[in-house]
Structure formats: structure tokens, C-alpha cells
A and B are shown apart, each in its own frame.
Chain A
Amino acid sequence: MASVVLSEAEKVYIMHGVQEDLRVDGRGCEDYRCIEVETDVVSNTSGSARVKLGHTDILVGVKAEMGTPKLDRPNEGYLEFFVDCSANATPEFEGRGGEELGTEIANTLYRIFNNESSIDLKLLCINPRENCWVLYVDVLLLECGGNLFDAISVAVKAALFNTRIPKVRVLEEEGGREIELSDDPFDCIRLNVDNVPCIVTLSKIGYRHIVDATLQEEACSLASLLISVTSRGTLTCMKKVGRGSLDPESIFEMMETGKRVGKLLHSSLQTVLDEEEKLGSARKKVGFLG
């Protein structure tokens, strides 16, 4: 994973700053960097979003394809996650170098969506036991600038919000069923993303914890807690990452902070997405070159 090497003095400087609730870039401990979100950037997808969080740059594309439901859930469609770490982010990712990190992030995404309330999967069913929509959520990591997980989860939520799945009808005919695609391209299903969780990563630095750590701050932190919260403040997944250890008390403190920050993150993301939606075709697209 992309990381920076800091000298002892630099680490002490960052740690003392965190203790005074003043970080190197002037933020407080519970502040995010400015997040840029744009949806509908890749026209070959059913839904897409690009998120820039500081120097972290994420592109997510959602593609809806027809598949067969899983045996244990015959009435539901399903989501597939794939994370590709582009060599443009860091040369370490060249060849198969990014696979380990990609799998780790994809597995985390599977876990935060592994509950019934996140997304209404029944909506994706076309024919029980026979046909359903499979949503391939493909994450492309273009640049690493710290706090990958949070940025990716925000991008995934924005892309799912933007996703439009064509409506289909099932025609019962002798000799089997046939699926007919709606003629009107604007006739489509939208997903309800109100309960889609976002990840908040809290990094322990010294005696305090911070959200949205930059690469430099990540280098100072021994352990972090990754929690996924919904807009109502419900936790859907929690995971401790990093080499160091955390004591139980600080975990509870971090959970409280995470919920508070997460709710705020959700509400501001939703506002931005709604605003962008309202502009419709009048919106000026920034695209990849922005």
C-alpha cells in the first residue's frame, strides 16, 4: 500500500498537533478534507461516480448485467465488488502488485453490504430462481492520498445513487418465459440508497483519534478502527486495522465519534447528490480532466 516515510521529528510534530486538536493542514480532529463528488462520468456504465478526497482519487462504475440468483436467495439479485488498484496510483501496483489491497477493500465492501437493510436486493429480482440483475460495482483507484476506505465507500454510495437499471417485463409464453426490455430508455429502476452505509476510519494518534487521516498521519498512527455507519447512525460493520493495539475504552469513544461524524458525512453527501440531480442536463460536467 502506498505509504510515506516520516522522520521521528515529523511524527512528533504531527502527534503534538493532534493533541492540541490542530492538524498539519489546519483541520480539527473530527474534520474531513474537502470532498469533491461527481456522478454520471462514464457513459458505458449504468451508474458511475468520481470522488476526490484530498489527493485520493476514486472512480466507481456500476454495471447491471443479467444473471441467475444465488441458490440460497432465489428472490434476490446481488452485488459483486471488484477493486482495481491502478499502477498510476503508485508503481507498486504494477502487474499483480495491487491485487492484495484490492481484495482486502473488496472484502470489506462485501462485509459492509452484508445485511438486509443496506440495499433492497428484492428489487433486482426479475424471475425468482431464474433471472436477476447482478450489479457489478467496480472501483478504480487512481491516486492514493490516505483514507482510501472512506473515499471508496462515499464513491460507491454516489455511484449506486446514480445507477439506473432498465425496466424489463417477463412475458409468459408457451415453452418458457421471455424477458422483454422496455422501449423507453428513461423507464428505469432507481435504487434507494438511504440505508447504504459509509465507512468512517478513525486513526489513533497519541491519546486522541482523528478522522480522515492523510498519508502522513497514517504513518504516525499505530492502529485504526474502521466502522461503517448508515445515515441513521447504525453500525453495520467494524474492523480494527493496523499493527498496534487499542484498548476497549478508546474503541467505544471512537465508535461514538464515528457515528457522529458518519451522520454528518451522509447528510452532506445526500445534499450534494440531490443538488446535482436537480440540475439535470443543465449540469456542467467536469469529467476526468478536472
Chain B
Amino acid sequence: MRGSRSKALHDQALVNCQYSMATFSTGDRKRRPHGDRQSSEMTLHLKQTFEAAILTQLYPRSQIDIYVQILQADGGNYCASVNAATLAVIDAGIPMRDYVCACSAGFIEETPLADLNYVEEVTGGPQLALALLPKSDQIALLEMNARLHEDHLERIIEAASKACKDVYAVLDQVVREHLQEVTALLGK
């Protein structure tokens, strides 16, 4: 536990996140890398997502730091952060309920779109960010901006959760391959 001890929780671990964007990562130069409104919100989202996934009750009075650094932004920053952080948490050997996979989705001209890029994000229209625990189909975080007719919501969530499951397949494969390599090296 670093910093003030008063933050320590007696029955579970504290998940501490920091989301930071390089000043040159976006099209327009950012004035500060973190601490602005957008980054603080993102930090909270990440914290919420990983509190839902990490088995925090196993580590009382401890702290788990997750630092995310965006080097280059082309839309879907939150989702990329979550997917990367999942891999990092697995690499750290911290027990989780499940992988957390995230994907954004939008709705342009009656078509649900998964994983919006920067251009698609700035054109406006509804935007949805979904973080999923794919095995149990539980939602760790769901956020939607702009207005959308309720009838379409299901299709968008459907598109996003399908994309999340695709991401899960890729992440799982990478983790397994990595693990095989590492154990093979250990065996020598």
C-alpha cells in the first residue's frame, strides 16, 4: 500500500487506475496528459470495470495499480485500454473472474457498427461502450452517449457483445501461446 494508508480497505484490495494520454496522441495537441475531465472520467470507468472483474476480496489491505498510457489515439480508447489492461493483469498473475473484453459500437444509417474509429466517433450519432465478462455474459461496464431509439438498442448491444467475444478469442489465444512458450522455457 503506497501513499495514504487511510485509503486501504480492510476487506478487499483497492484498485487504483490512472488513464493518461500522450500530449501528441490525438490530432490536436492535448495540453495536459492526465487530470482533465475526460481522463478523470476514463480513470473512473477503468476502476469500475476492473473492480468488477478482479477477485479483490483475496487481497485485503492491498492496492493494485493499473496505469494506462495512450500513445496514439484513433477511437475506441477505452476499449483498447481495457483489453490491454486485462492482458497486463493476467500477466501479473492477479486472479480474475474472467477476462474483461471491451468494444465500442455505433449506429449509423440504420446499421450497427462495431469498433468505431476516430472519424466515425466524431461524426456524432449514438455511441456505446461495452465491457463484457464473456464466459458468463456479464456486463462490467455499459455506457451510451447521444440519443437512440430503444428498439435499436438491442441490435447495438448485440453487435458490441459479439465483437467483445471475438476479442476474447484473440486474447485467450495469445495468453495460451505465451504461457506455452514460457512453460517450455522453464522446462529446459
Query: A43 interface residue, CB < 8 Å from B?
Result: yes
Considering the chains assembled together, what is the distance between the CA atoms of A134 and B111 in angstroms?
Answer: 42
A138-B20 contact in complex given A44-B73, A59-B71, A65-B29, C-beta closer than 8 Å = no
Q: In the bound complex, do residue A44 and residue B24 qualify as a contact, i.e. CB atoms below 8 Å apart? A: yes
Interface residues on B, range: 10 to 19
- Given A63-B29, A95-B18, check contact A88 B24 (CB 8 Å): no
> Hey, which chain A residues are within 8 Å of B96, CB to CB?
none
Tell me the B19-40 residues at the A interface (CB within 8 Å): 20, 22-27, 29, 33-35
Given A42-B72, A63-B29: A86 in contact with B23 (beta carbons within 8 A): no
- State the main secondary structure of chain B at its contact with A: loop
The reply to whether A136 and B23 contact each other, CB–CB distance below 8 Å, is yes
Complex interface: chain B residues within 8 A of A44 (CB) = 24-27, 72-73
Per the bound structure, the CA–CA distance linking A86 and B22 in Å amounts to 9
Interface size on A, residues (CB 8 A): 24
Contact A87:B67 (CB < 8 A) given known A42-B72, A43-B72, A94-B18: yes
Residue of B whose beta carbon sits closest to that of A59: B71
User: Knowing A42-B71, A288-B71 touch, does A82 contact B20 (C-beta < 8 A)?
Assistant: no
A261 at the B interface (CB under 8 A): no
CA distance A191 to B41 in the complex (A): 39
Pick the residue among A87, A91, A138 that contacts B24 (CB under 8 A).
A138
B5: Cβ under 8 A from any A Cβ: no
Residue of B nearest to A94 (CB): B18
Residue in A closest to B21 when the chains form the complex, CB atoms: A84
CA distance A288 to B34 in the complex (A): 20
- Nearest Cβ distance between residue A39 and chain B, in whole angstroms? 14
Chain A residues with a Cβ under 8 A of chain B: 42-45, 48, 59, 61-63, 65, 82, 84, 86-88, 91, 94-96, 136, 138, 140, 142, 288
